[in-house]
Structure 1
Amino acid sequence: MRYDVIVIGAGIVGVSVALHLQAAGRSVILVDKVGAAGTGTSYGNAGLVERASIIPYAFPRALSEIIRYGLNRSADAHYHASFLPRIAPFLFSYWRNSSPLRLAEAARDLLPLFEASVSEHDAFLNDSPNAAALFSRRGWIKAFHNGDALAAAVSDAEALASFGLTWEAMDSNGLAQIEPYVRNMAGAIHWKDPITALDPGAVTAAYADLFILRGGSLKAADAMGLRQEGTLWRVSAGNEVVCAREAVVAAGPWSADILGRLGYRFPLAVKRGYHMHYSLEAGTTLTHPLLDATTGYVLAPMAKGVRLTTGVEIAPRDARPTPVQLDRAEAAALRIFPLGKRVDPEPWMGFRPVFADMRPAIGKISGSDGLWAAFGHGHHGFTLGPATGRLLAEMICGRKPFVNPVPYSPTRFRGQVKS
């Protein structure tokens, strides 16, 4: 079966690329290993379209923070000690790129994508018959256990005045006005620009439904067999072979594996994370996603109940789950909110694909005609998926990109070309 473009990966990024290419008049097939959209990383996140995240998640630089994380007892970070020798080069590069100067450069490069995050989601929501009802426009809350941490966060927010973000600082009484069942917090910052999803996996599936409604095709395929024959890219989808002149690899944490089989080497790492859903005790409510910034977890109202999402686990991608962070975060969460019983039979584990320079890879991969990248968004794949889809579609179609694509170029990595 012949198409203009094969898009590999039916997470939020791949679905968004497919939708934008389709809107540009290209015939597109979307393939995924399970043949369904929104079942991986796009399912398990906190559901934030994070317009307010101007500064990327950086590696800790203060000695006190490094010591705290080194003790491996925190809820917001956990590591497998046996994995550290293998991941050390990445962590060192991540630490170097988190210097104040380099972090500011990364923030500047990512800013145009974040500025377009909500509007690009809205463009899909306007046409999707199912997705709009899954979103709230109340923003989210960053809460603190002590006044000093709150004051520092307010100073940081004031320093972002030039970015035009809307926020409100509140003490414990103000927090109680909008979240009456949250307790034992000194205060919070209410970020009002982001939109939030009640089921991010269902949002991704709804966007995929829009793609199919417009004539697109979504099939199960083993993308590890992607190959180029002549001028065409081919992949097996069941008993069929689909081919196209262009192929987009948007498979999140598996993207480097797919490209590795083609001879490419990308320094992609994976931050693991967990979530669990909880019932609400009778009569209680939670109406905003809430980050306990002191401890490092998020409580988010979802269709299945309250979702608790953890911080970062540094471990081999395919190692067995070790959700010790979830237990620590749950104990902390019960001190500030009356969580009910666990809903899921076991913790969900997902993977955040990330590069040490904190920028995704979006653009043409050198060395092979018609091969494109759209992966490595770290904590912000759900936020940046639609904006990434627009940018890459414009590049593939030879149109003027709406933002400068150079900072995201896959060619910025040494050894990216075929070995």
Structure 2
Amino acid sequence: MKFDAIVLGAGIVGVCVADHLQQNGLSVALVDRKAPGMETSFGNAGLIQREGVYPYAFPRAFADVLRYAGNQALDVRYHADAMRELAPFLWRYWRNSHPARHAEIARSYATLIEHCVSEHRELAAQAGVSDLIRASGWMKVFRTNAKFDRERSVAERWRREYDVDFEALDSARLKQLEPDLDDSLAGGLRFTAAESVSDPGALVAGYARHFSKIGGRLFLGDAATLREGWSVETQEGRIESQRVVLALGPWSGPIAARLGYPMPLGIKRGYHMHYEAQSPARLNHPVLDVENGYLLAPMARGIRLTTGAELARCDAPKTPAQLDAVEPIARGLFPLGSRLDAEPWMGRRPCTPDMLPIIGPARRREGMWFAFGHAHHGLTLGPVTGRLLAQMMLGKETIVDPNPFRAERF
């Protein structure tokens, strides 16, 4: 079975790459060991972050570093036995998070973010799943005026630099928009140009159905069987192509390293749990509790509580201590009912030390291409990454300058 391109990884990024290649007339095979959207893409907060022009940086204030070192913070935890392995990545991440360097990174990152909403809307309309995307924006809420004022100043800078639209909410306006949140909140920020998804897994599955409808082929297989040529073993037999795309998220690193591209990829794990809302309470927006580092999002299954970051080896056993720590606080923010999942879900965010994804060719391996390392913004950037990589692979004019995302920067 021969194809014009093989895409390895059926998360949001891989599905969107495959979809755009197929739309451009290539015969495409999409390979994963699970059904589309069942790994990291399944369990995120469901945000399409048009405001996310500055990727999430490593805290540099001494007080913050000291707080995280104690490993009791609500928003970041770590496995002590993984720190030696992760130290080189964290050191480079910390250096790239210097304000001047972070601002430089944002100038490249914002070129992708600019297209995130429009690209999702277009692909969702083609796939017939526009009903899964909500245009209501999302919120950060604050428990203290001091934190509210600092974050509002940051949002105002984003608006000046990148035309990021937001609404500052005093306590009365916040109560009007979210009447069932804790009355003691100081205020909030509502990012009005952002959108959210009621079921991220279903959205990816919908994009994958569209890929199949326009002639693409889905295969169950293991990317570890990839051999130069390029070929991959699947449940239906060996498939071959002159082009292969690594879009395996956190599992891209080992495959790339085996083929001569050792990437400094770090993993931030995260957890979620769904809850009933106590009747008649209703949550209208995804809401981030800034001081406590968790997010509540209204989803098709219920209210999803998502945690911050856990620094650990990719396949280490689950340790959902953050979820257990923030659940009582979340119950005070919004009237959550019973847990709806048998156990916490865990996902893995693939992160680069300069916070930019890796998108483009592997120039020392003819026919190999990369599309991974999107960290917290995989869902946000999936469709625009798919369009950009398809344009690069076909020699077309690109939607943005791809140079900042080249693999050779490492």
**How do 1:71-90 residues align onto structure 2 when only pairs under 5 Å count?**
71-90=70-89
Matched, 1:278 2:281: no
Amino acid at match of 1:149: K
- 1:377 CA drift (Å): 0.3
Q: CA deviation at 1:23?
A: 1.3
Q: 5+ unaligned residues in a row in structure 1: which ranges? A: 414-419
The aligned counterpart of 1:121 is 120
The 2-side partners of 1:391 and 1:384 are apart by 10
Who is 1:385 aligned against? 382
Compute the displacement of 1:261 (Å). 2.9
Given candidates 242, 254, 258, the residue that maps to 1:257 is: 254
CA distance in 2, matches of 1:203, 1:330: 27
CA distance in 1, matches of 2:365, 2:260: 11
CA RMSD of aligned residues (A): 0.9
1:16 maps to 2:16: yes
Tell me the alpha carbon deviations over residues 293-323 of structure 1, each in whole angstroms, 9 at most, x when there is no partner. 1110100000110000000001111111111
What are the within-5 Å matches in structure 2 for residues 11-410 of structure 1?
A: 11-34=11-34, 36-129=35-128, 131-162=129-160, 163-183=162-182, 184-229=184-229, 233-410=230-407
Which SS does the other structure have where 2:50 is aligned?
A: coil
Shift of 1:335: 1.6
Aligned residues: 408
Q: CA deviation at 1:371?
A: 0.1
Deviation by residue 1:220-252 (Cα, 9 ceiling, x = unmatched) = 0111011113xxx10011141111111000010
Q: Which runs of 5+ in 2 are unaligned?
A: none
| Cα distance in 2, alignment partners of residues 109 and 243 from structure 1 | 35
Q: Decide whether the 8 Å contact of 1:227 with 1:262 is kept in 2.
A: no
Hey, what's the Cα distance between the residues in 1 that align with 2:258 and 2:227? 9
Task: Extract structure 1 runs of 4+ deviating beyond 3 A.
Answer: none
Residue 2 of structure 1 pairs with residue 2 of structure 2 = yes
- Aligned 8 A contact 1:40 1:350 in 2: yes
Task: For residue 39 of structure 1, report the CA deviation from its aligned partner.
Answer: 0.2
CA contact (8 A) 1:224 1:261 kept: no
Say if 2:219 and 2:236, in contact at 8 Å, map to a contact too. Answer: no
Give the AA of the match of 1:191: F
Aligned partners of 1:181 and 1:286 also within 8 Å: yes
Distance apart, 1:384 and its partner CA: 0.3
CA–CA separation in structure 1 for the residues paired with 2:167 and 2:338: 32
| TM-score when normalising by structure 1 | 0.96
Question: By how many angstroms is 1:260 displaced?
Answer: 2.6
CA contact (8 A) 2:11 2:38 kept: yes
Which amino acid in structure 2 is aligned with residue 56 of structure 1? Answer: P
Mapped partners of 1:160, 1:93: distance in 2: 25
